[in-house]
């Protein structure tokens, strides 16, 4: 949301300074993690360096060494067409980052980034902005004691609370904080998309 505000300020009030805000959510820290912007840059750089013929695909026609082409196909050719496009590279880099997080910062959670290279059309699919809005609304609705998390102290039916805990309490502390809510909604969306 800060990014949106700063873009609006740049257009509407160019003389104003950018806004910098600290997140109100207590999210786990993970030194050295990649953001969606990092993943985009890595993917774009990888494609630019290796797509020799400029067709938007990595395959045998790009003079990639056999070993590397084979590895790319095994690891990143998700649709099985013997070529790896920019979205498949992007998804591959996301997987690498999430594997790294599992090994180095298991409580930090996974990164989920929409592919910025090709917009896949799927009626009813949520965007990252939709997921952010929904997670804010879920916390606002269920966090009746306003402590920043959904827990037994909130005015919530026990069966509903139990279901939220079983689906979204990733660190098993008996509460669902804003970060867990966001990650949970991303998981639900990805299951729906699948």
Paired residues of 177 in beta bridges: 149
Give the separation between CA 26 and CA 1, rounded to whole angstroms: 17
For residues 115-121, average pLDDT? 68
Q: Residue 2: what pLDDT?
A: 47
For residues 157 and 172, give the distance between their C-alpha atoms in angstroms, rounded to a whole number: 19
Domains of the chain listed by start with CATH number: 36-104 (1.10.238), 128-193 (1.10.238.10)
Q: For 4-61, what is each residue's pLDDT tens digit?
A: 666 776 777 766 666 555 445 556 678 889 988 999 999 999 999 999 888 888 888 8
């Amino acid at each position: 949301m800060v990014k949106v505000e700063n873009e609006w300020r740049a257009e509407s009030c160019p003389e104003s300074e950018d806004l910098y805000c600290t997140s109100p959510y207590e999210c786990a820290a993970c030194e050295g993690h990649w953001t969606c912007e990092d993943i985009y840059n890595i993917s774009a750089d990888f494609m630019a360096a290796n797509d020799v013929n400029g067709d938007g695909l990595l395959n045998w026609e790009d003079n990639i060494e056999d070993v590397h082409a084979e590895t790319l196909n095994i690891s990143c050719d998700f649709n099985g067409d013997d070529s790896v496009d920019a979205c498949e590279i992007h998804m591959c880099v996301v997987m690498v980052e999430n594997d790294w997080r599992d090994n180095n910062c298991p409580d930090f959670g996974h990164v989920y980034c929409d592919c910025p290279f090709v917009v896949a059309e799927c009626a009813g699919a949520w965007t990252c902005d939709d997921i952010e809005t929904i997670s804010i609304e879920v916390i606002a609705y269920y966090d009746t004691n306003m402590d920043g998390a959904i827990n037994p102290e909130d005015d919530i039916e026990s069966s509903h609370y139990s279901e939220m805990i079983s689906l979204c309490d990733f660190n098993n502390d008996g509460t669902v904080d804003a970060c867990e809510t966001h990650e949970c909604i991303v998981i639900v969306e990805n299951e729906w998309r699948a």
